[in-house]
Amino acid sequence: MIEVRNLQKSFGRRAVLQDVSFDVAAGEVACLIGPSGSGKSTILRCINGLESHDGGSITVDGVPVTPQSLPTIRASVGMVFQRFNLFPHRTVLQNLIEGPVHVLNQPVADASGRAMALLAKVGMTDHSGAYPRQLSGGQQQRVGIARALAMEPRAILLDEPTSALDPERVGEVLKVMRDLAEGGMTMIIVTHEIAFAREVADKIFFVDGGVIAEQGPAADLLSNPRAERTRLFLSRVRHPL
Amino acid sequence: MEAFLADAAQFLPVLLRGLGMTLLLTSGALIVSILLGLIWVLMGYSRFALLRWISRAIINVIRGIPIIVQLFCIYFVLPEWGIDLPPFAAGVLGLGLAYSVYQAENFRGGLSSVDKDLVEAGTALGMRWSVLMRRVVLPLGIPAALPSLGNTTIMLLKDSSIASTITIAELTRAGQLLAISTFKNGTVYLLIALLYLAASLPMAAGVRWLERRFARR
């Protein structure tokens, strides 16, 4: 469903992505892991056009990502941010219906009904009238996921969704993501939660230095990493001291 | 003191009428300056380089010419080109135009304080530029610009006295005429100063209230 071919991206003279290729099929969960600055987030941001790419191609459901196709792409691919990026001047419910009402032109009543169902799904029904600043990080991120889902996307991209959370809040967000995976949502997740990736991901891409150094089924790659740098990275993540 | 009070009682009705005109002029110019300022700043945020360039050029040119010269251009020069505006309209337009560049800078300050991450969130939802501005950037950026907008309004109130030079009978001009005909310069200009203060102090309080309100968000 999402096909990335020979993707290249530079910021100025610095090549961030050298030659990245991978496929994610409908219903699959793919996790991108790897050291900071390796280009994981940039890959996600290229898929929905928050960054333009310099070379190679990306297609979503057969539609190539170009400046002209961005409205189509963004309507079918949702995004969840590390720092939640909820609209601070709107309530939880208003955050959810913002896209459906003002991008997809749905009637407010219809969008609100669907939004309340989504809030129930992420356990935030009681907070529909709250403003983001009144919520904990974990609650904000659950709203962030619900906001992406409110657009009824074919896939969602999650950029380190638990990295900005207090440790005791990580679980509630992972649970929502696990439910989504079980519901068959196509997801690409940039994450440092290796245990979560092993449990939920169908595939794992290990990104290092702007290339995919190794890819494979989750259990396989995590248990028997073939590349030396994958092994090194995994041992550092598992044994930080 | 008694003489001052007697004179004041005699002059005040005329000066209050002048103050009324000053407030009317300030309000009109404020509206014009805000509307034009918004246009300049939105052009400045356009994705078309030409519009951004025009916005920059307008701001630099208008900011570089004294307000009194701009007023003279509109009131004395435009008629030569067949555009003959009555004094009040010329005053509102001239002051509004002159102040629009300061308002644009105020708005720019407010809009640039909007978190880029929120713009990205809107973009990722598929918002077009106009929707992004209307739903995200303006609702967050304009409140952030309000305190400096309030300051500019107080400056505009005082600078509206420049319109006295194109025959508008606002507070300063009304006072000048009184002073010339009565020779009581001290009394008249003291009253004028007090009346400007009486109008601007509540505005200053309003600005402080806006600042506190905004700081709470």
Residue given tokens 């439910």 in the structure block: A179
Q: Minimal Cα distance from A134: which residue of B? A: B217
Phi-psi region of A91 (alpha: psi -120 to 50; beta: other; left: phi over 0): beta
Q: Write the DSSP string, chain B.
A: -HHHHHHHHHHHHHHHHHHHHHHHHHHHHHHHHHHHHHHHHHHHT-S-HHHHHHHHHHHHHHHTS-HHHHHHIIIIIGGGGT----HHHHHHHHHHHHHHHHHHHHHHHHHHTS-HHHHHHHHHTT--HHHHIIIIIHHHHHHHHHHHHHHHHHHHHHHGGGGGGGT---HHHHHHHHHHHH--HHHHHHHHHHHHHHHHHHHHHHHHHHHHHHHH-
Quote the percentage of chain A above a pLDDT of 90: 71
Query: CB–CB of A103 and B117 under 8 A?
Result: no
Choose the closest CB to B131 out of A83, A103, A147: A103
- Disruptive mutation site among B111, B118, B125, B140 for chain A (greatest number of A CBs within 10 Å): B125
Check residue B71 and give its pLDDT: 93
The CATH number of the structural domain formed by A2-88+155-238 is: 3.40.50.300
Q: Give residue B8's pLDDT.
A: 81
Alpha-carbon torsion, ordered B89, B171, B69, B159, to 10 deg: -100
Q: In whole numbers, what is the pLDDT of chain B averaged over residues?
A: 91
| CA–CA dist B145, B151 (Å, integer) | 10
Query: Would you state the structure tokens that stand for residue A34, as one six-digit string?
Result: 């790897």
Q: Which residues of B touch A88 (CB under 8 A)?
A: 118, 140, 217
Whether the pLDDT of residue B217 is over 60: the answer is no
Name the CATH topology of B2-216: MetI-like fold (1.10.3720)
Binned at pLDDT 50, 70 and 90, residue B167 comes out as confident
State residue B203's pLDDT score: 87
For residue A154, give how far its alpha carbon lies from the nearest alpha carbon of chain B (Å).
13
* pLDDT attached to residue B207: 83
Q: Which residue has the higher pLDDT, B133 or A236?
A: B133
pLDDT in tens, A96-135: 999 999 999 999 999 999 999 999 999 999 999 999 999 9
Each residue of B186-214: pLDDT tens digit? Answer: 888 999 999 999 999 998 888 888 878 77
Q: Residues in chain A, how many?
A: 241
ipTM of the complex: 0.90
Asked if B201 is an interface residue toward chain A (Cβ–Cβ < 8 A), one would say no
To the nearest whole Å, the CA of B139 is away from the closest chain A CA by 8
B124 touches chain A (CB under 8 A): yes
Nearest Cβ partner of B125 from A83, A88, A151? Answer: A151
pLDDT digits (tens, 9 = 90+) for A169-221: 898 999 999 999 999 999 999 998 888 888 889 999 999 988 898 998 988 88
Whether B118 sits inside 8 A of A85 (CB atoms) is yes
Tell me the C-alpha distance between B44 and B112, whole Å: 11
The full set of domain ranges for chain A reads 2-88+155-238
CB contacts of B121 in chain A (<8 Å) are: 79, 81, 85-87
Chain B positions in Cβ-Cβ contact with residue A76 (cut-off 8 Å):
none
Residues in chain B: 217
Instruction: Write out residues 88-117 of B within 8 Å (CB-CB) of A.
Output: 115, 117
Verify whether the Cβ–Cβ distance A75 to B120 is below 8 Å.
Answer: no
Residue with token string 């002073």: B179
List the single range of A82-86, A91-95, B82-86 with lowest mean pLDDT. B82-86
Q: Which two tokens stand for residue A171?
A: 């679980």
